[in-house]
Amino acid sequence: MDAAIATTMMQTEGPQTLEAQGAATDAELIQTHMRRVFRLIYRVVGNVPDAQDLTQDAFVKALKRRDQLKDPDKAAQWLGRIAVNTALDFVRRNKRVHFEEIEKAPEAPVESPEQSVLRDEKRRYIEDGLRLLSERERAALILRDIEGLPAVEVAARLDCSPATVRSHIANARVKFRKYAEGRKR
């Protein structure tokens, strides 16, 4: 009779325990990757409110499709692809990118006022240049040059061939170079 009670308890507690473990794993996934996913989306859409909403959307999509993640060691790449696609879909749907100042991290105490002004000018200069690029070029350039991902990884995230990624990056660099030359005059 004790064995029957134990079996009944295991059957009633088993799913709850699995759900609790799944919720803990989901929370851990979100906590581990939240900042990175947000930064990636922010760099594509260019403003904080949209990036916050899209980060939430990306995690909702990821958690709904959690069963598609076969290798937990590749969660960062999997989430990155979902994030980039979510951001690109948003930009395509709205046909706009509005850059906005992200909350600044505390500045180093050794930064002079001149250095602060130069840093802000450089940030605005880069944001203005990024506005000239198509959403695919911008995403490829950010993933390759800022995130430091290899072209094969960028291709996987953008769901295109490595040759297409190299083309997007080359086009983006040419546009940025022309932009830089025009600003020097």
The pLDDT, as a whole number, for residue 167 is: 94
Q: Report if residue 17 sits inside a domain.
A: no
Domain that holds residue 150: 31-96+112-184
The pLDDT, as a whole number, for residue 8 is: 37
The pLDDT, as a whole number, for residue 16 is: 38
Angle of helix 162-184 relative to helix 113-131, nearest 10 degrees, comes to 120
30-81, pLDDT tens digit by residue?
888 888 889 888 888 888 888 889 999 998 988 888 888 777 777 888 888 8
Q: Report if residue 42 sits inside a domain.
A: yes
Overall number of domains in the chain = 1
Tokens of 156: 């996987």
| CA 12 centroid distance within chain | 39
- Is the confidence at residue 163, as pLDDT, over 90? yes
The pLDDT, as a whole number, for residue 98 is: 60
Distance CA 68, CA 6 (A): 34
22-36, 53-67, 159-173: least confident range: 22-36
Residue from 91, 167, 158 nearest 131 by CA = 91
185 or 129, greater pLDDT: 129
**The amino acid at 112:** S
Burial of 36 (0-12, 13-18, 19+ CB in 10 A): middle
Q: Report if residue 134 sits inside a domain.
A: yes
173 or 21, greater pLDDT: 173
Q: The domain that contains 158 carries what CATH number? A: 1.10.10.10
Q: pTM of the predicted model, to two decimals?
A: 0.50
